[in-house]
């Protein structure tokens, strides 16, 4: 341990963030990095405690605590403190495929489990990782490493999100011939089209994809497996298939007026904006239907927040974000102790921008839509809302959110974005491969296994575990690759 008293001597210091009223003028990343000297101090804050919950990746009270990838966090932080950036990169990438992605978009499960939370602020693990990986790229340490020998085994991966990319990287490293199929026009899945550019610059994805291509991985875009290519054809050409298509079946709202124009699913909206920006090299924004309009975002999660920030950048007149559940407390309650994931209210970048632009938090809690009101042309114009209250179901004992009588009100809404989560995998894909699904329509496997009910067909990521985080998708991709390699070779040495 380099600095035994570091956590006592140094306070947490975050990297600078561009002010909201400035950053809403563009779609670039707005978070910078600290100087190397300051980042070393942040590494020194790591206590190297006897039980590093930061890297545990265990489930506590139904929620993840610590890094699912089991990154060697204290060891990496110690190398940061000593300024040994190359060794820190080597240590980090023993367990992590894509730190450049998670260091930008992960909610930092590692930091939530940090022991420093007991008496102060956690170690800035996420920012430490970002500086490590960006320093590695700047110094040319991240180079393509094609396998020296090939096994001759061929693996098809359907879907190029984080789970598909992680599986591809691992299996290619083992020497298998890997082809990744993506139905969109660009590689990346939700990394590309579900996360706005200001959170994850798409050049970061392109940089990694180029390396993977140089290592021998083949990417085929614009190919919708299950439609353009039959499952039988894929199984005939390849020894194994991994389905990593995500939980791409969005949850809808079944209320009167839902058929009105200018009501979009959140990911469709975010994809449309990102594609427009990429196609025009950020010169043309073809989403003018938002400018000057009252926007209602339905859903209080990360995707809903992304819709808020994106709508503001597109010139929305106003933005309201509806959340069915009550507002979470501002700090931990006694029934939510460390190292559980903190169930507290967080104000993310989109909400910060709405407060700066409109003068108030865009979120309205315990509220949902009961009807959309159209104009004569069929465009949505207003939304009828109702307040909800928690009420115990006497039959099941569960708490449900039920409407409060007489609480209805109508607000202006010319654009509506539904960010209510996902229900599971898309039926045409699972039907094409004839794989069994569970009650949530996720692809079914035995517990902690990745092979589906169909021999030689495996699954990973959100399609397997349901809608989740990028870091979980990467972990799923690695484990699926491990299972595929073992089924092909009879053993595996993949970590």
Q: Which CATH fold would you assign to the domain 6-138? A: Fumarate Reductase Iron-sulfur Protein; Chain B, domain 2 (1.10.1060)
Domain borders along the chain are 6-138, 154-248+424-489, 252-420
Q: Where are the alpha helices (DSSP H) in 140-265?
A: 162-174, 190-193, 202-214, 231-237
- The pLDDT value recorded for residue 1 is 62
Q: Residues 82-110: pLDDT tens digits?
A: 999 999 999 999 999 999 999 999 999 99
- The pLDDT value recorded for residue 462 is 96
Quick check: 133 and 100 in contact, CB under 8 A?
yes
Which are the contacts of 408, defined by CB distance < 8 A and separation ≥ 6? Answer: 370, 384, 385, 386
Reported in sequence order, the residue ranges of 293-379 that DSSP labels E, i.e. its strands, are 294-298, 318-323, 363-365, 367-374
- The pLDDT value recorded for residue 309 is 98
Q: What pTM value is reported for the model? A: 0.96
CA angle, 421 as apex, 313 and 362 as ends, to 5°? 40
Residues of the chain with pLDDT under 70: 1-2, 284-286
CATH number of 154-248+424-489: 3.50.50.60
- The pLDDT value recorded for residue 288 is 84
Q: CB count, 10 Å around CB of 494?
A: 15
154-248+424-489 and 252-420: same fold?
A: yes
- The pLDDT value recorded for residue 285 is 64
Q: CB count, 10 Å around CB of 398?
A: 9
Q: Which CATH number, 3.40.50.720, 3.20.20.70, 3.30.460.10, 3.50.50.60, labels domain 252-420?
A: 3.50.50.60
């Amino acid at each position: 341990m380099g600095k035994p008293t570091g956590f006592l001597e140094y306070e947490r210091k975050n990297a600078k963030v561009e002010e909201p009223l400035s950053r809403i003028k563009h779609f670039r990343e707005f978070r910078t990095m600290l100087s190397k000297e300051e980042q070393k101090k942040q590494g020194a804050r790591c206590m190297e405690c006897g039980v590093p919950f930061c890297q545990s990746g265990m489930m506590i009270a139904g929620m993840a605590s610590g890094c699912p990838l089991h990154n060697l966090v204290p060891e990496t932080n110690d190398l940061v403190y000593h300024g040994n950036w190359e060794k820190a990169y080597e240590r980090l990438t023993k367990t992590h495929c894509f730190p450049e992605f998670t260091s930008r978009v992960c909610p930092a499960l590692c930091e939530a489990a940090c022991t420093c939370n007991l008496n102060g602020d956690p170690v800035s693990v996420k920012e430490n990782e970002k500086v490590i990986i960006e320093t590695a790229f700047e110094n040319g340490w991240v180079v393509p490493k094609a396998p020296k020998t090939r096994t001759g085994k061929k693996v098809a991966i359907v879907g190029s999100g984080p789970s598909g990319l992680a599986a591809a990287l691992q299996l290619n490293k083992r020497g298998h011939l890997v082809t990744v199929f993506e139905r969109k026009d660009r590689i990346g899945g939700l990394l590309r089209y579900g996360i706005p550019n200001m959170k994850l610059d798409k050049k970061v994805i392109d940089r990694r994809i180029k390396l993977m291509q140089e290592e021998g991985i083949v990417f085929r875009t614009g190919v919708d497996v299950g439609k353009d290519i039959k499952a039988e054809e894929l199984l005939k050409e390849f020894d194994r298939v991994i389905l990593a298509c995500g939980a791409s079946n969005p949850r809808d709202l079944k209320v009167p007026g839902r058929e009105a124009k200018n009501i979009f699913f959140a990911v469709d909206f975010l994809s449309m904006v990102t594609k427009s920006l990429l196609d025009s090299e950020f010169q043309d924004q073809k989403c003018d239907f938002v400018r000057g309009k009252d926007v209602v975002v339905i859903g209080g999660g990360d995707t809903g927040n992304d819709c808020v920030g994106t709508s503001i950048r597109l010139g929305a007149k106003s933005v309201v974000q509806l959340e069915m559940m009550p507002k979470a407390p501002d700090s931990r309650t006694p029934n939510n102790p460390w190292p559980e994931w903190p169930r507290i209210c967080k104000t993310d970048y989109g909400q910060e921008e709405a407060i700066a632009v409109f003068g108030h938090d865009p979120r309205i809690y315990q509220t949902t839509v009961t009807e959309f009101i159209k104009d004569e042309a069929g465009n949505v114009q207003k939304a009828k809302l109702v307040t909800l209250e928690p009420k115990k179901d006497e039959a099941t004992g569960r708490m449900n959110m039920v409407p409060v009588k007489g609480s209805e009100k109508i607000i202006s809404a010319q654009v509506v974005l539904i960010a209510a989560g996902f229900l599971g995998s898309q039926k045409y894909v699972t039907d094409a491969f004839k794989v069994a699904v569970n009650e949530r329509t996720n692809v079914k496997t035995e517990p902690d296994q990745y092979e589906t009910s169909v021999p030689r067909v495996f699954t990973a990521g959100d399609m397997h575990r349901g809608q989740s985080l990028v870091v979980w998708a990467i972990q799923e991709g690695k484990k699926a690759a491990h299972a595929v390699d073992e089924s092909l070779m009879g053993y595996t040495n993949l970590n």
